Amino acid sequence: MITELSPNPTENDALPLQFKMVTGTSGSGKTQALKCLEDLGFFCVDNLPPALFQKFTELCTQPGKDVKKVALGIDIRERAFFDDLLSNLEALQTNGCQVELLFLEAQDDILVRRFSESRRPHPLLPQRPVIEGIQLERERLQGLRNRAHQVLDTSEFSVHDLKSWMIQHYQERDATQALKISLLSFGYKFGVPVDVDLVFDVRFLRNPHFVPDLQPLTGEHVEIQQFVLDNQEGKDFLGHLRELFAFLLPLFKREQRSYLTIAFGCTGGRHRSVSMAIHMKDVLKTLGYEVTLRHREIQQEKNDSA
C-alpha cells in the first residue's frame, strides 16, 4: 500500500540536486531499494550522518562535478539522531535542494518471517524476540513516517516486485515516452493488491463459477470471456470504461506519470476479473498505450502446482 503524505515544499522544478531519502523498518527492503536507485543512476550513500548533509551537498555541487541525483539510506533508531535528521533535511530544502523521503514498511508477521529466514536478530534488540524489536522500532520511527512523502508497504513484494516499483517511480523518462499501463486481475477473497492506482470491482458481472461446464476454466478461455462480457451489462460496462480511460489517461500522462497500475477484482480472481483485464488490454492498445498484464491468482496457482 502506498500512502501519499506531505508534498515537497520546494517549488522549483529544475533543481540542481535531488535527494531521495530511503528509510523505514528493518527488513522492509531499504537496502534493496537503495541498490535499485544506484542502478537508476543515483549516487548512493548509506547511513551518512545528518550533520554531514550540508558538507556533502557542497561537495556534490562543486564545479566540474556531475552529481545531480543523490540517494541516502537512513537507518534511525535513536531519538537524538532523528531530531538531527529533521533539522538537516529542512536546511537542505531551505538551500534549494529537492528532497523526497521514502519510508518502507511491512506487516509484523512478514517482518518476523523475513528475519527468521535470514536467521538474523533484530538490530535494535538483538538479545530479545524479533517481534519486540519490530514494535519498538515502529514507535521510534513513527514521527519520521509521518514526515515521509511516500509510505510503501512491501508485505506482498518480492525482490523483483520492489525493483519494478522503484523503476516505475524513479526512472527518468523524456516527454515523448509513452505512459505504461499495468493491468492486474485479482480475487477479493485473497486481498486487494497493495500497489495499484485504480481498482474496479467486477463482481456484478455474470459469474461462470456456477456453471458446471465453465467452472474449471479461467478467463483466459474464450468461452469464459463470452459468458462474462457478451451480454448487455458487460457491453455497456466495457463501453463506459473505454470512454473513461480515453478521457483519464491523457490527464495522467500530462502530469508526467510514466506508469499506471489498474486492477480488476472478482471473488476468486479466476473468471470475471481475468476476462475483463484481457479485454481491456486490447482496448488500451488501440488507444495507443503500452500494456502489460498479470493474473495474480492464476499465476499463484501455477506456482503452487510447479
What would the pLDDT profile of 87-135 be if each residue is shown by its tens digit?
A: 888 888 888 788 889 999 999 999 999 998 888 888 888 889 999 999 9
| Domain boundary pick from 170, 190, 225 | 170
| Domain boundary pick from 151, 170, 189 | 170
C-alpha cell at 219: 478467463
Q: Is residue 251 part of a domain?
A: yes
Q: The domain spanning residue 127 has which CATH number?
A: 3.40.50.300
Shared-domain flag, residues 226 and 158: no
Report the domain count for the chain. 2
Q: What local confidence, expressed as pLDDT, does residue 147 receive? A: 86
Give me the average pLDDT of each 10-residue run along the chain (306 residues). Answer: 44 61 92 89 86 85 79 73 77 83 93 89 88 91 87 88 84 66 94 89 95 94 95 94 93 78 95 96 90 90 72
Name the residue range of residue 51's domain.
2-170
Spatial separation of the C-alpha atoms in residues 199 and 248, rounded to whole Å: 14
Q: Is residue 175 part of a domain?
A: no
Q: Is residue 36 part of a domain?
A: yes
Q: What local confidence, expressed as pLDDT, does residue 257 receive? A: 73
pTM of the predicted model as reported, rounded to 2 decimal places: 0.56
Residues 262, 280: contact at Cβ < 8 Å? yes
Interhelix angle for 232-254 vs 272-286, to 10°? 50
Q: What local confidence, expressed as pLDDT, does residue 248 receive? A: 92
Shared-domain flag, residues 148 and 186: no
| Domain boundary pick from 170, 200, 218 | 170
Provide the percentage of residues in the chain whose pLDDT is more than 90: 44
Name which of 151, 193, 175 is nearest 22 in CA terms. 151
Residue type, 93: Q
Q: What local confidence, expressed as pLDDT, does residue 300 receive? A: 82
